[in-house]
Structure 1
Amino acid sequence: MNMPLLWLSLQFAICALLIARAGFVLSRSADALAEAYGWGRGWVGVALLATVTSLPELASGISAVVLVQAPNLAVGNALGACVVNLAFLVVVDVSQRQQPMYREASASHLLSAAFGVVMMGFVAMSLVIRAPAVLHVGLYSPLLLGLYLLALRSVHTHERDHAAQVSPRAGSTAEHQRRAWRHFILAALVVLAAGTWLPQVADALAGELGLSRTFVGTVFMAVVTTLPEMAVTVAALRLGALDMAIGNLLGSNMFNVFILAVDDAFYTRGPLLADAGPAHAGTAATALVMMGLVIIGLVMRPRGHVLRVLSWISVGLVAAYVINATLVYLGGT
């Protein structure tokens, strides 16, 4: 390995370690805040954690279009992160030894998954058909913003109307709350800084390895920038908070799609999705297929495991992810 490649790989690894560690701190401090204020863990997963753990995708996307001028890197990172999040549901499923996770998951996740399908559908259409633009911003951007805000409000209302009210933890002091907020904000800043650094390293790696920006954004960057979601999900599972784990991943997907609207505002050459490569339409379609499988699982609630390890829904998620990564590698630009 030559020195530039070794140095770039080291920087990439440092980004990954920083994001992973910060993601773990986020999960613990968010859980402490949920207990202190009496917030439901499902809502914390969908809104608070999902937003903060997606900060690397937000920072990376803005950095990619402003500093690197690489629309394929930004779009590939956002859509690839959605696919990685859905694939990580397989890990959640495997962790449930007795029965598939879909047997225990709250039905409220159907709402998050359904909004994710609608938002991703608009993205897929905009990638295939050039959408009208206002100034340099595509028409899809305000639609994605409106859908995201509507999704947050709808999930909150559903949680409030159907979930049991949670009382704040007895004995929680103002100092405990301040400490939790300090840890939460510090971890969020670390995630933001590492996420801003990442796209420049990834773009340089793409050049050194001879890989397309589409592939690097969809696979390499997507995996690293979803490390907070992975860390939070694993920590939530250790706490026995299955709904927080699932809500974090599905909520992050909605935020990742919304990020495309933010990136579009910063990309001044025209509508962002109009300049993205055609391979991204395949990634969007893959995300739609995977979210469809999750919805089927939440409705059918399969009982058995395949080879006593995971549900057939998870088998389909793994197959879709592998096929998409292969197609992007072969056809990316």
Structure 2
Amino acid sequence: MEILTAWLAFAICLLVIGMAGPVLTRSGSDIAAQTGMSASWVGLIMLAAATSLPELFTGISAVTIADAPNIAMGDALGSCIFNLVMLVLLDALCRDEPFWRRSDQGHILSAAFGVVLISFVGAVVLTSRNGLDLRVGHVSAYSPFLIALYFIAMRAAFFYERRPERPAQPLGPAHADRTLQRTLVNYLVAAAAVGAAGAWLPFVGQEVAAVMGWRASFVGTLFIAAATSIPELIVTVSALRMGSADMAIGNLLGSNLFIILVIALDDIAFAGGSFYAQVSPAHAVTAFAAAMMSGLCIIGLLYRPGNRFFGLFGWISLSLLAIYLLSSYAIYLHGH
């Protein structure tokens, strides 16, 4: 019964998050059409922030209430690699043309910032456990640097989108029966539902880990990361079906940048000592895997390969899938 109860609670979290995802997509699209924002900017900022709320609420509640820093770090970095492996699904869904040829090359900027930020977190996890743990009180000196880098990335993306030589990426018209005020209310309600489910997830994760005999780093990286990435999955597929590959990839890459900001906020909220020094070094494997996957994303956007294996996947997508599976297996071995 304990196992059944734990997995039932996990399924309820998935259901709530999954139901709120389409509402976020429709609301984001309507707000963009009503305000004149580009598809890339909507994906990078609005949708990325909204769909990353589970990681934010999960991380904060994990380090403040549940006292589970490994759940927080595993969820954040696991979501990064889960977001990037979603590109494999998008490539398979683009049957008429490879996904990489439908996406704007401007996403290279956010992918490159992702390589820098995620690699930095992986290095901090390793160095903080070996004496290089710089802190002001209980807050690591690395966290303000991560926060500054995030806002630098957002500022660079904003001004890049405003360049006159950038092609316009108009979205479809908003629903005629929805005012901007009503759309914002729908957006906030869906975001609140996602956040509430995310706040419950760390406790569910600890219960699943206990009844299954798994380590928290394994549960956080695979199961909770998959659950908190459900909004990204639903929003991304919905954006692609709306004909906006740029909104889809912008959401995924923007979510990864926001997740690094979440890690810095987790460190600030964690009062039990050094956050980076207390988490498992196995998380560095996930961080470096995510950085490698971001690098492959840059190659795909720049090179735009057209060949496909099995009529579904290009070599970039297969490489992304291989790195995801290998890193997940490494975390699984460490979890046992």
Measured against the shorter chain, the TM-score band is: over 0.9
Cα distance in 1, alignment partners of residues 173 and 295 from structure 2:
41
> Deviations for 1:287-324, whole angstroms, at most 9, x for unmatched residues?
11111111111111101111211110010111111111
Offset, 1:172: 7.7
Match in the other structure for 1:140: 142
**Map of 1:184 onto structure 2:** 187
Query: Where does residue 45 of structure 1 map in the other structure?
Result: 43
Q: Residues 168 and 326 (structure 1 numbering): CA distance in 2 closer, same or farther, change over 3 Å?
A: closer
Number of aligned pairs?
A: 331
Distance 1:308 1:63 in 2: 44
**2:106 corresponds to which letter in structure 1?**
S
Partners of 2:309 and 2:41 lie apart in 1 by 31
Residue type of the alignment partner of 2:11: A
* TM-score, length of structure 2 as denominator length: 0.95
Aligned counterpart, 1:152: 154
Q: 1:89 aligns with which of 62, 70, 87?
A: 87
Aligned to 1:128: 126
Structure 1 residue 157: Cα displacement = 0.9
Assess if the C-alpha contact under 8 Å between 1:36 and 1:168 holds in 2: no
Q: Structure 1 residue 124: deviation in Å?
A: 1.3
Partner of 2:241: 238
Off by >6 Å, runs of 4+ in structure 1: 166-174
Unmatched tracts of structure 2, length 5 or more: none
- How much does 1:179 deviate? 1.6
SS at match of 2:235: helix
Q: Find the aligned partners of 2:166 and 2:41 in 1 and give their Cα distance.
A: 10
Q: CA deviation at 1:123?
A: 0.5
Letter paired with 2:66: V
Aligned to 1:266: 269
Paired-residue identity, %? 44
Question: Which stretch shifts more, 318-327 or 157-166?
Answer: 157-166
Change beyond 3 A, Cα 1:272–1:169: same
Deviation at 1:270, TM superposition (A): 2.1
Residues 285/170 of structure 1: CA separation in 2 closer, same or farther (3 Å cut): closer
Query: 2:23 and 2:199 mapped to 1: Cα distance?
Result: 19
What one-letter code is carried by the residue in structure 1 that aligns with 2:247? Answer: M
User: Equivalents in 1 of 2:168, 2:295: separation in Å?
Assistant: 30
Aligned residues: CA RMSD: 1.7
Change in 2 beyond 3 A, CA 1:160/1:116: same
What corresponds to 1:108 in structure 2?
106
1:311/1:168 Cα in 2 relative to 1: closer, same or farther (>3 Å)?
Answer: closer
Question: Structure 1 residue 221: deviation in Å?
Answer: 0.2
TM-score by length of 1: 0.96
Equivalent in the alignment of 1:195: 198
Q: Which residue of 2 aligns with 1:321?
A: 324
SS of equivalent residue, structure 1 residue 129: helix
- Give, in angstroms, the shift of residue 271 of structure 1: 2.4
Distance in 1 of aligned mates of 2:25 and 2:2: 35
